[in-house]
């Protein structure tokens, strides 16, 4: 008998799928410039645009790389000036240090190292960590341990809330560390949820919990499956879309 197709029941971390396929970089006036190319059959000329994600080049389907580089060189002064401004606007990269901000349930907590503590403790919007300020590894370890405990507790509570509504037996909830999926439903009532979901707003976590619990009835993505999800979360399409487009901003690098 073939093994049950658990992959079919997984909820993929979709935003990673297409990222970085079209990333390029070049030197302009001594500055390393990264950019993304978006090709389109409807486009007739090469356009340059800088948004939150950085420099984007719009190009006709068949435009050569050479032609794109030529346009970037023609506008080198504009590109380098705008990209310098863009870098200055960006938040500093995350480091495990005093004052760093961590997303937990869609809200930011500020990390406060406090070596006099004997365990990690949340105090309002501060997370007090039992580690010295100059030991980023110890800070990371303590915070991760706390995040996982917090995730286990939150996911179990939400599953216990939704299980009777969906009329399923409360499954065993395990944390997963998958890089590619939010959740997986295994046969025999075992649900794996990605611990990183604890960074997300509760409404998005609920969507994943309900999605996986509904698989305990319907081990597929049939219309019947989606009807079960919809009966509990009428706005599930919106939540799924938000998870796809917004979730990356809550994750640690
Ligand atoms: Zn699914």
* Predicted TM-score (pTM) of this structure: 0.71
pLDDT of res. 10 = 62
CA of 214 from ligand 1 middle (Å) equals 8
Tokens of 197: 């979901």
Residue 215 CA, ligand 1 centroid: distance in Å = 7
User: Which pLDDT tens digit goes with each residue over 204-217?
Assistant: 999 999 999 999 99
222 CA distance to ligand 1 middle (Å) = 10
Distance CA 78, CA 138 (A): 44
pLDDT in tens, 123-180: 999 999 999 999 999 999 999 999 999 999 999 999 999 999 999 999 999 999 987 8
Give the Å distance between the CA of 18 and the centre of ligand 1.
20
Distance 41 CA to ligand 1 centre (A): 34
- For the chain, the average pLDDT equals 89
97, 140 contact by CB (below 8 A): no
| Residue 220 pLDDT | 92
- Determine the distance separating the centroid of ligand 1 and the alpha carbon of 183, expressed in angstroms: 8
At 248 the pLDDT is 84
pLDDT of residue 20: 52
Query: What are the tens digits of pLDDT across the range 56-66?
Result: 999 999 999 99
Instruction: Say if residue 9's pLDDT is above 70.
Output: no
* Residue 90: per-residue pLDDT: 77
- How many residues are listed for the chain in this entry? 253
What is the predicted pLDDT for the residue at 5?
Answer: 39
Q: What is the pLDDT of residues 214-241, one digit of tens each?
A: 999 999 999 999 999 999 999 999 999 9
196 CA to centre of ligand 1 in angstroms: 18
Distance 50 CA to ligand 1 centre (A): 36
pLDDT in tens, 15-32: 443 445 678 888 888 888
Instruction: Give the model's confidence band at 246: pLDDT under 50 very low, under 70 low, under 90 confident, else very high.
Output: confident
> In terms of Cα–Cα distance, which of 180, 182, 184 is closest to 172?
184
Distance 6 CA to ligand 1 centre (A): 9
CA distance 133 to 111: 10
- Say yes or no to pLDDT of 11 above 80: no
Q: What percent of the chain is modeled with pLDDT above 90?
A: 70
In order of their start, the domains of the chain are 21-89 (no CATH), 97-250 (3.30.2010.10)
**CA–centroid distance, residue 206 to ligand 1 (Å):** 14
> Separation of 83 CA from ligand 1 center, angstroms?
40
Q: How many beta carbons lie within 10 A of that of residue 103, not counting itself?
A: 18
pLDDT tens-digit series, residues 83-123? 998 888 877 778 999 999 999 999 999 999 999 989 999 99
Ligand 1 centroid – CA 145 distance (Å): 28
Phi and psi, residue 220, nearest 5°: -165, 180
What's the average model confidence in pLDDT over 33-37? 91
Distance of CA 211 from the midpoint of ligand 1 (Å): 6
pLDDT at 188: 82
SS (H, E, C) the chain: CCCCCHHHHCEECCHHHHCCCCEEEEEECCEEEEEEEEEECCCCCCEEEEECCEEEEEEECCCCHHHHHHHHHHCHHHHHHHHHHHHHHCCCCCCCCCCCEEEECCEEEEEEECCCCCCCEEECCEEEECCCCCCHHHHHHHHHHHHHHHHHHHHHHHHHHHHHHHCCCCCEEEEECCCCEEEEEECCCEEEEEHHHHHCCHHHHHHHHHHHHHCCCCCCCCHHHHHHHHHHCCCHHHHHHHHHHHHHHHCCC
CB count within 10 Å of CB 129 equals 27
Task: Check residue 252 and give its pLDDT.
Answer: 86
- Residue 2 pLDDT greater than 70, yes or no: no
């Amino acid at each position: 008998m073939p093994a049950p197709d658990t992959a079919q029941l997984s909820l993929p971390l979709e935003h990673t799928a297409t990222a970085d396929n079209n990333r390029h970089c070049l030197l302009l006036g001594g500055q390393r410039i990264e950019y993304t190319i978006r090709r389109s059959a409807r486009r007739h000329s090469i356009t340059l645009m800088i948004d939150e994600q950085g420099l984007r080049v719009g190009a006709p389907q068949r435009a050569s790389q050479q032609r794109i580089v030529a346009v970037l060189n023609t506008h080198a002064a504009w590109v380098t000036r705008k990209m310098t401004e863009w870098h200055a606007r960006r938040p500093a990269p995350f480091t495990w240090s005093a004052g760093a901000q961590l997303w937990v349930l869609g809200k930011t907590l500020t990390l406060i190292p406090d070596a006099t503590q004997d365990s990690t403790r949340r105090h309002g919007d501060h997370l007090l960590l039992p580690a010295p300020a100059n030991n980023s590894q110890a800070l990371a370890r303590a915070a991760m341990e706390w995040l996982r405990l917090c995730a286990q507790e939150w996911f179990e509570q939400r599953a216990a809330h939704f299980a009777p509504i969906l009329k399923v037996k409360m499954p065993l909830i395990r944390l997963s560390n998958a890089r590619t999926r939010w959740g997986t439903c295994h046969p025999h009532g075992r649900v794996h949820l990605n611990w990183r979901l604890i960074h997300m707003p509760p409404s998005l976590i609920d969507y994943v919990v309900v999605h996986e619990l509904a698989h305990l009835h319907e081990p597929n993505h049939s219309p019947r499956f989606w009807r079960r999800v919809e009966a509990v979360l009428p706005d599930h399409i919106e939540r799924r879309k938000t998870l796809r487009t917004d979730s990356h901003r809550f994750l640690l690098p």
